Structure 1
Amino acid sequence: MQKSYVYFLTNKNNTVLYIGVTSNLLKRVYEHKAKIRYKYNCDKLVYYEEFSDINQAIAREKQLKAGNRNRKEELIKSENPEWNDLSDGWLFYFD
Structure 2
Amino acid sequence: MNISEAIQKLFPNAKPGSDKDFLVMDLADGEGQFIAEWNLPDPQPTETELQAAWKEYQLNPPPAPLSEFEKLQQLQELMQQAIDEIIFGGDL
Q: TM-score range by the shorter chain?
A: under 0.3
Higher relative contact order (CA 8 A, sep 6+): 1
Structure that is richer in strand per residue: 1
